[in-house]
Structure 1
Amino acid sequence: MTDTDQHAAATDPALLDALREHVQGSLPSTIADLSDLVRIPSVSWSAYDESNVLASARAVADLARSTGVFTDDQVEIIRSAISDADPHELGQPAVLAVRPARNGKPTVMLYAHHDVQPQGDDALWETPPFEPTLRGDRLYGRGASDDKAGVMTHIASLRALHAQFGDDLELGVVLFIEGEEEFGSRSFRTFLREQQEHLAADVIVVADSDNWSTEVPSITVSLRGNVTFKLTLTTLEHASHSGMFGGAAPDAMIPMVRLLASLHDDDGAVAVEGLSSYEADVPERTEEQLAADAALLPGVRPVGRGDVLSRMWFQPSITVTGMDVPSVANASNTLLPTVSARVSVRVAPGQAATDAYAAVERHLRAHVPFGARMEISEPDAGDGFLVDTAGWAVQEARTAMAEGWGESPVEQGIGGSIPFVSDLAAQFPEAQILVTGVEDPDTRAHSPNESQHLGVLHRAIASETILLARLATRG
């Protein structure tokens, strides 16, 4: 994917100056509000205190009211059932605010999520994860970027929009801030179905992706899908002494290591028949740049074949993200009867996640060594997504980004997955979806020392404000 010169007509200069002035003037309060959100440890995983997610939802609802775009009764905190099978098992709270369009103007849905990943090992953080800390031009803290900066991009843009248009604003606005994106968006489909009438929009802006650099914006036009599951191999009824039986009795680690190794060839490329790749042009990125961006240690070589960005955006990948085995400190001289691994598969855009899962399952069953008993459990799958870049909304976004950043956007793929985007496309097939964001290559989302570059935040707010103003004045 490359940058493009297909832009809509330029924004009226007087309007552009007014919008930029408001965004610039309100930036300190925007950063203060972002800092307040970061202080709320809104981890949505089931093992964590869900009252923090509710507190975060309440804070976001207050911010939505503060924009002036919505009346108090247009802002709600909603929890939907995870599935129809158990209507009493609810997902985490989301915030929904709806202002109807008037006089034939379009409606835009602004999506972000207010939940965050767990902080992980506190010892790896240079500053406390839930105490926002400004160092240089970056604000550090869990969720400072992913995705509370996305939340604040929407809030700050709506504030600027209201400052310009006041109650004369005719653009329809749906603000949808999810509360469990980091926990698999378990109630997302139920929420979409229940709130379909309120959520319907002509344009959907998903502020949950990254940018080419801190100076050059991106529109994300492709996303890989994902498949995850737990793989368990069992060879013995119970643990046995490794000195007495080792060399004859197979402990579970031997077939597990061999089975996992079969998923890749000698180049480190995925070796599973039935996993497809997507073909598209990509910007050039050298393996040396990859080594620097991904923090490879000296002497470590990249894996895979083909263009570097093609490997990351358009080819499948398989990662073992965890294993259940004794720790080194607790190791004993025994043969392990059972070993489990968490396997994560990134699926090339254009291939259904269910087809990819079937291909991986066939491969594993065909390659189990030594007759080990295999179990695959806890499967989860989400489809990838390809954006139609021919729509008028993409042209409007290109112009708004060029005016907000001072640089034309790069159309890029993302190696990660945002499975709910395909759910949005399925529920609202007529809507044009724009995937934007506030991250950059140094954000470290999901990792220790996550941070938000404040220059990127400023430019992201400016470009979204310009986009909303252009939609509000669109014929």
Structure 2
Amino acid sequence: MTDIRETAPTATSPAAPALRAAVERGLPTTIADLCSLVRIPSVSWDAFDADQVAASADAVASLARDLGVFESVEVKRAGIPGGDELGHPAVLATRAARNGRPTVLLYAHHDVQPPGQNADWDSNPFEPTVRGDRLYGRGAADDKAGVMAHIASIRALVESHGTDFDLGLALFIEGEEEFGSRSFATFLEENRESLRADAIVVADSNNWDINTPALTTALRGNVTFRLTIRTLDHASHSGMFGGAVPDAMMAAIRLLASLYADDGSVAVAGLTSIDVPTPDYSVEQLRRETGLTEGVGPIGHGSVLSRIWSQPAITVTGIDAPSVANASNTLTPAVTVRISTRIAPGQPADDAFRALEAHLHANAPFGARIEIDDVDTGEAFLVDTGGWAVAETRSAMAEAWGESAVDIGVGGSIPFIADLVRVFPDAQILVTGVEDPDSRAHSPDESLHLGVFKRAILSEAFLLSRFNQRSES
């Protein structure tokens, strides 16, 4: 997770000029295909139209078939553990390796976050719009650009090498990453042999900035759950009983406040941190990249990036309580909130949940009854950077960007990587991405920097070409 720049830009490989030309020629088509995917509102959350997710999967499958390199392209669904429900459709395309070449699994996801309020966007979230050097739209960066980086890099490989190359390929484009990857583990087990690979490229992360590539080597884990706080069997008049009867809103405020220390850091015993060096990153840069309001200071302690990469964080992401418009002079009997906790690499998610659960029960004020349900956990991730695939990836990035790659941690979580490690323990996992600090993934005005997009495609094209020249390791 340190700012390592010891991989100097490498000498141009023999295939580089042809790959550069292929990526450049194909870019208009690639952007057009990306725009077509963005127009499909493939939100995988329960409250949205599942048919749109299916339409998105079909569109991705068509793009994969048109490459002409896969022996099989299927749209598949897997069961969600604990019931009979199926997950959203994923695309699985495979091509066997030949002549001792390795196999690479290319992962991205075609589902997207809900758009939120259209009024918060400067343009329609599902109508891709170019302003300056950025393409705006929900999924334009996260992660339909990742899907198209895979498609476009294979197109460039085909144009420069033909379809008769020896590299094994598996393309896995998931359909429910934004909704917890609920069927992911089942999908891996049911398609284990088709997905087996020597290296796995997960195109769902960030770059250091628009001019500097990054390889993500650490991700925080997550624990999310619904918390209900109850103090009354029914609502009562606040004027008649206020001052003697604690309502659920008061209890919720007190309980939630107990999660934080005075400096805003997490105050839950049992949640751990790790101590690692981090690159220079100023408060001014944090303010610029996040829109931190003037006069509001950052929270926590330690270097800014250590707070994001290697310490826990707790966010209340939603609350069910009487709205201001419908407020009456009433003591509220129950309040429900959604808690999202990011946990530092090295701590098992189950241990973190037990620490949170113990804290909430121990700190419930006034004897309030609390209930915790709808629990979801995801493991943190640390990359072993000593493998040959990591070295090849750094070299490919340096060649494509003209800048050495930075190893970064990311405050967000990609919980399914723990499943990949469990099922394919010998595979080298490479977390790359097409985003930059201004992409605003999950937020209004999500966008993709088109220069970053082109360089990300070129990096992956170089990487595939390098793998195609390598004997299986």
TM-score with structure 1 length normalisation? 0.98
Q: In structure 2, which of residues 134, 140, 147 is the aligned counterpart of residue 151 of structure 1?
A: 147
Q: Is the 8 A contact 2:5 2:405 kept in 1?
A: no
Q: Which amino acid aligns with 1:338?
A: A
The one-letter code matched in structure 2 to 1:52 is: Q
Deviations 1:168-195 (A, max 9, x none): 2100000000000001001000000000
Paired position in structure 2 for 1:354: 350
Superposition map of 1:325-336 within 5 A: 325-336=321-332
Of 193, 200, 222 in structure 2, the residue corresponding to residue 197 of structure 1 is: 193
- The residue aligned with 1:52 is 52
Deviation (angstroms), 1:12 = 5.3
1:384-395 aligned at under 5 Å gives the runs 384-395=380-391
Match of 1:209 in 2: 205
CA distance in structure 1 between the aligned counterparts of 2:275 and 2:470, rounded to whole angstroms: 35
Report if the CA contact (8 A) 1:110-1:205 is conserved. Answer: yes
Distance 1:25 1:9 in 2: 24
1:319 counterpart letter in structure 2 = T
For residues 447-471 of structure 1, the C-alpha deviation after alignment (integer angstroms, 9 at most, x for no partner) is 1111111000000000000000000
Q: Distance in 2 between matches of 1:3 and 1:99?
A: 36
- Structure 1 residues 150 and 236 mapped into 2: Cα distance closer, same or farther (>3 Å)? same
How far apart, CA to CA, are the structure 1 residues paired with 2:151 and 2:377? 31
Counterpart of 1:76?
A: 74
Paired residue type of 1:50: A
1:149-228 aligned at under 5 Å gives the runs: 149-228=145-224
- Is the 8 Å Cα contact of residues 7 and 404 (structure 2) preserved in structure 1? no
Q: Decide which of 406, 409, 432 is 2:405's aligned counterpart.
A: 409
Superposition CA RMSD, Å: 1.2
Corresponding residue for 1:36? 36
1:286-325 equivalences under 5 Å are 286-325=282-321
Provide the rounded CA distance (Å) in 2 between the counterparts of 1:455 and 1:9.
18
The verdict on how the C-alpha distance between 1:5 and 1:440 changes in structure 2, with shifts beyond 3 A counting, is closer
Give the Cα separation in 1 of the matches to 2:78 and 2:362.
Answer: 40
SS at match of 1:362: helix
Query: For structure 1, which runs of at least 5 residues remain unmatched after alignment?
Result: none
How far did 1:10 drift?
4.2
Q: CA deviation at 1:287?
A: 1.6
Find the aligned partners of 1:288 and 1:127 in 2 and give their Cα distance.
28
Q: Secondary structure at the match of 1:465?
A: helix
Q: 1:437 aligns with which of 419, 433, 458?
A: 433
Is the 2:8–2:404 Cα contact (8 Å) retained in structure 1? no
Q: Distance in 2 between matches of 1:462 and 1:470?
A: 12
Cα displacement (A) at 1:13: 3.5
Identify unmatched segments of 5+ residues in structure 2.
none
Partner of 2:16: 16
| TM superposition shift of 1:5 | 4.8
CA distance in 2, matches of 1:3, 1:328: 47
* 2:252 paired residue number: 256
Worse-matched range after superposition: 203-212 or 44-53 = 44-53
Q: Name the counterpart of 2:466.
A: 470
Preserved CA contact (<8 Å) 1:7 1:396: no
1:4 aligned residue: 4
Contact 1:226/1:417 (8 A) holds in 2 = yes
8 A contact 2:60–2:91 mirrored in 1: yes
Q: 1:22 is matched by which residue type in structure 2?
A: A
Q: 1:11 Cα deviation (Å)?
A: 6.0
Quote the offset at 1:9 in angstroms.
Answer: 9.8
| Contact preservation (8 Å) 2:23, 2:156 | yes
1:58 partner letter: D
Q: Matches of 1:135 and 1:7 in 2, distance apart?
A: 34
Does residue 337 (structure 1) correspond to residue 333 (structure 2)? The answer is yes
Q: Percent identity?
A: 63
SS in 2 for 1:57: helix
8 Å Cα contact 1:8-1:395 kept in structure 2: no
Alignment correspondent of 1:91: 87
- Per the TM alignment, residue 3 of structure 1 is displaced from its structure 2 partner at its CA by 3.8
* CA deviation profile, 1:343-373 (whole Å, cap 9, x unmatched): 1100001100100000011111111110011
CA distance in 2 between partners of 1:417 and 1:181 (Å):
11
Tell me, yes or no, if the aligned pair for 2:380 and 2:413 is still in contact at 8 Å.
yes
Residue of structure 1 aligned with 2:421, choices 420, 425, 429 = 425
Give the conservation status (yes or no) of the 8 Å contact 1:69–1:159: no
Structure 2 SS opposite 1:14:
coil
- TM-score, normalised via structure 2 length: 0.98
Q: CA deviation at 1:66?
A: 1.7
CA contact (8 A) 1:35 1:132 kept: yes
Equivalent residue, structure 2, for 1:270: 266
The match for 1:279 is 275
The answer as to whether partners of 2:9 and 2:404 remain within 8 angstroms in 1 is: no
Amino acid at match of 1:101: A
Q: Distance in 2 between matches of 1:6 and 1:198?
A: 36
